[in-house]
């Protein structure tokens, strides 16, 4: 008879109907395997507060670290913006750091090229600076009719939703200082 009881006890519906968990949201729904599992959040060495980098909502995140590696990212209940919630993108943001397909080098495809090639970061920065200066010069307008404008129509900026307030502020300063007037951000949240 004891064997039958043990067998019945392994059946979640039996536990739900006969035990103290009639809604099946706790003990009744747990298996031995569940009991043996320890969450990554419980074994982490420390927790770092951060902000989801995916969009302009800026939901708060708790980043769990073990052996100096990110092991889990969850919503931060202390955040007044998101109160512990993350959308599916934010919930999956650990992969931004740990994915084996993450791109960690500068990729460049030459004009008319068909393949991407890796460039040293310093080389890429020099190339970008050269192109920015050339475009600024080429599109420079000193006058519009009789009106002195001192601006360049050769540069424009369209920011993405992953940019935060501070980054947008710095970009506006930079582009305005270079004489650009077409400065926008696509985020409208």
In the complex with ligand SF4, the residue whose CB is nearer, 79 or 152, is: 79
Nearer to ligand SF4, 16 or 61 (CB): 61
Residues 34-63 binding ligand SF4 (CB under 6 A) are 52, 54-55, 57-59
Site string for ligand SF4, 62-91 (x = CB under 6 A): --------------------x---xx-xx-
- In the complex with ligand SF4, the residue whose CB is nearer, 149 or 187, is 187
- The token duo for 84 is 């512990």
What is the closest distance, in whole angstroms, from the C-beta atom of residue 81 to ligand SF4 in the complex? 8
β-pairing verdict for 180-185 and 147-159: parallel
Name the minimum Å distance from CB 101 to ligand SF4.
19
Q: How far apart are CA 161 and CA 111, in angstroms?
A: 28
Give whichever of 20 and 88 is closer to ligand SF4, judged by the CB atom: 88
How many CA atoms does the CB half-sphere of 15 hold within 13 Å?
Answer: 15
Q: Is 96 in the site for ligand SF4 (CB under 6 A)?
A: no
Least CB distance to ligand SF4 at residue 85 (A): 7
Q: How far is CA 80 from the centre of its chain?
A: 19
Quote the CA–CA distance of 61 and 130 in Å, as a whole number. 38
Q: How far apart are the first and last CA of the chain?
A: 63
Residue 44 vs 59, nearer CB to ligand SF4: 59
Q: What are the CA-CA distances from residue 154 to residues 66, 144, 177 (Å)? A: 48, 15, 14
Minimum CB separation of residue 60 from ligand SF4 in Å reads 9
Identify which of 98, 118, 100, 97 has the alpha carbon closest to the alpha carbon of residue 108: 118
Residue 52 or 155 having the CB closest to ligand SF4: 52
- Residue count, binding to ligand SF4 (CB under 6 A): 11
- Exposed, middle or buried by CB within 10 Å (0-12, 13-18, 19+), for 119? middle
* 3 state DSSP class of 64: strand
* Contact positions vs ligand SF4 (CB under 6 A): 52, 54-55, 57-59, 82, 86-87, 89-90
């Amino acid at each position: 008879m004891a064997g039958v009881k043990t067998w019945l006890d392994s059946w979640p519906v039996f536990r739900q109907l006969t035990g103290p968990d009639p809604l099946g949201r706790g003990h009744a729904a747990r298996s031995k395997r569940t009991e043996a599992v320890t969450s990554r959040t419980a074994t982490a060495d420390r927790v770092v507060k951060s902000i989801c980098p995916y969009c302009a909502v800026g939901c708060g995140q708790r980043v769990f670290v073990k052996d100096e590696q990110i092991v889990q990212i969850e919503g931060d209940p202390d955040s007044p913006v998101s109160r512990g919630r993350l959308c599916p993108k934010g919930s999956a943001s650990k992969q931004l750091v740990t994915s084996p397909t993450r791109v960690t080098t500068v990729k460049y495809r030459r004009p008319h090229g068909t393949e991407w090639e890796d460039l040293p970061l310093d080389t890429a920065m020099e190339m970008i600076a050269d192109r920015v200066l050339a475009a600024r010069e080429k599109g420079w307008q000193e006058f519009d009719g009789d009106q002195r404008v001192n601006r360049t129509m050769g540069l424009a900026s369209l920011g993405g939703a992953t940019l935060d307030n501070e980054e947008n502020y710095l970009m506006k300063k930079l582009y305005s200082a270079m004489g650009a007037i077409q400065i926008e951000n696509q985020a409208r949240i």
